[in-house]
Structure 1
Amino acid sequence: MNPFRPAARGERTPIRAEAPAARTDGTLATLRLYDPIDSYGEFWGVSAKEFARVLDELPDDTTEIRLLINSPGGEVWEGVAIMNALRSHKARVVAVVEGIAASSASFIAVSADELVMMQNSELYIHNAWGIAIGDAADLRALADDLENHYDRNIASVYAAKSGDPVDHWLAEMEKDRFLTAEQAVAEKLADRIEGVGDAAAAKAKFDMSVFARADGRRAAARAATPKLPSQSEPGVPNQKEKLQMSDTIKAGLRERLGVTDADVSDEVLLAALDEALEEQADDTPAPVAASIPDGAIVVDKAAYEQLQSNAAAGRTALDTIDAARRDAVIKSALEDGRIAAASKDSWRAQLDKDEEGITAILASMPKSSAVPVEELGHSDSLTSADDALYNQLFPDEKKGA
Structure 2
Amino acid sequence: MDRFFNMIPGQSAACILLYGDIGDYDKVRSGDVTRELLEMEASFTNIDARINSNGGDVYAGIAIFNAFRNSKANITIYIDGIAASMASVIALCGKPVYMSRFSRLMLHSIQGGAYGNKAELEEVIRNIDSLENTLAEMLAGRLKKTVDEIKATYFDGKDHWLTAQQALDAGLIDGLYDIEESVPEDSTPDDVYTIFNNRLKTQSKTENQMNLEELRKRPAFKDCTTDEDVLRQITHLETEAGKVTGLTTEVTTLKKDLKVFQDKAAADAEAEIDGLVQTAFDEGRITEPQKATYKALLKADRENGEAALKALPAKRRVMNNLHKPAAGGTGAWDEEMTNIRKKNGYTV
Query: Any unmatched runs of 5+ in structure 2?
Result: 198-348
Does the aligned pair in 2 maintain the 1:94–1:112 contact within 8 Å? no
Letter aligned with residue 5 of structure 2: I
Q: Are 2:50 and 1:36 equivalent residues in the alignment? A: no
2:192 to 202, 227, 234: 202
Q: Are 2:38 and 1:15 equivalent residues in the alignment? A: no
State the secondary structure of the residue aligned to 2:176. Answer: strand
State the secondary structure of the residue aligned to 1:150. Answer: helix
Question: As a proportion of its length, which structure holds more helix?
Answer: 2
Does the aligned pair in 1 maintain the 2:68–2:75 contact within 8 Å? yes
Report the equivalent of 1:138: 120
Q: Are 2:149 and 1:164 equivalent residues in the alignment? A: no
Residue 204 of structure 1, CA deviation: 3.4
Count of residues in Structure 1 that have an aligned counterpart in Structure 2: 187
For residues 226-305 of structure 1, the aligned pairs below 5 Å read none
| Aligned Cα root-mean-square deviation (Å) | 2.3
Report the equivalent of 1:118: 100
Report the equivalent of 1:213: none
Residue 142 of structure 1, CA deviation: 0.9
Report the equivalent of 1:153: 134
Output the CA distance in 2 between the equivalents of 1:63 and 1:117.
22
Moved over 6 A (4+): none
Output the CA distance in 1 between the equivalents of 2:102 and 2:3.
22
Output the CA distance in 2 between the equivalents of 1:98 and 1:52.
21
Letter aligned with residue 91 of structure 1: A
1:53 to 12, 24, 35: 35
Question: C-alpha offsets along residues 40-66 of structure 1, whole Å, 9 cap, x if unaligned?
Answer: 2xxx32211111121132152421111
Question: C-alpha offsets along residues 379-399 of structure 1, whole Å, 9 cap, x if unaligned?
Answer: xxxxxxxxxxxxxxxxxxxxx
Does the aligned pair in 2 maintain the 1:158–1:189 contact within 8 Å? no
Report the equivalent of 2:55: 73
Output the CA distance in 2 between the equivalents of 1:206 and 1:80.
24
Query: Any unmatched runs of 5+ in structure 1?
Result: 1-11, 208-401
Does the aligned pair in 2 maintain the 1:35–1:45 contact within 8 Å? yes
State the secondary structure of the residue aligned to 1:168. Answer: helix
Residue 206 of structure 1, CA deviation: 10
Q: Percent identity?
A: 31
Residue 109 of structure 1, CA deviation: 0.4
1:90 to 69, 72, 87: 72
State the secondary structure of the residue aligned to 1:100. Answer: strand
Report the equivalent of 2:89: 107
Report the equivalent of 2:167: 184
TM-score using structure 1 length: 0.44
Does the aligned pair in 1 maintain the 2:52–2:196 contact within 8 Å? no
Residue 13 of structure 1, CA deviation: 8.6
Question: C-alpha offsets along residues 212-241 of structure 1, whole Å, 9 cap, x if unaligned?
Answer: xxxxxxxxxxxxxxxxxxxxxxxxxxxxxx
Letter aligned with residue 91 of structure 2: A
TM-score using structure 2 length: 0.50
Question: C-alpha offsets along residues 56-82 of structure 1, whole Å, 9 cap, x if unaligned?
Answer: 321524211110100001000100001
Does the aligned pair in 1 maintain the 2:22–2:56 contact within 8 Å? yes
Question: C-alpha offsets along residues 153-181 of structure 1, whole Å, 9 cap, x if unaligned?
Answer: 11222221021122221122223100111
Letter aligned with residue 33 of structure 1: L
State the secondary structure of the residue aligned to 1:142. Answer: helix
Output the CA distance in 2 between the equivalents of 1:146 and 1:130.
9
Query: Kindly tell me: are residues 206 and 143 of structure 1, through their superposed partners in 2, closer, same or farther at Cα, counting changes over 3 Å?
Result: farther
Letter aligned with residue 9 of structure 2: A
Letter aligned with residue 146 of structure 1: I
Query: In terms of Rg, which structure is larger?
Result: 1
State the secondary structure of the residue aligned to 1:46. Answer: coil
State the secondary structure of the residue aligned to 1:96. Answer: strand
Output the CA distance in 1 between the equivalents of 2:88 and 2:97.
10
Query: Kindly tell me: are residues 57 and 203 of structure 1, through their superposed partners in 2, closer, same or farther at Cα, counting changes over 3 Å?
Result: same
Question: C-alpha offsets along residues 13-33 of structure 1, whole Å, 9 cap, x if unaligned?
Answer: 91121112xx2xx4x111111
Does the aligned pair in 2 maintain the 1:115–1:192 contact within 8 Å? yes
Output the CA distance in 1 between the equivalents of 2:148 and 2:3.
37
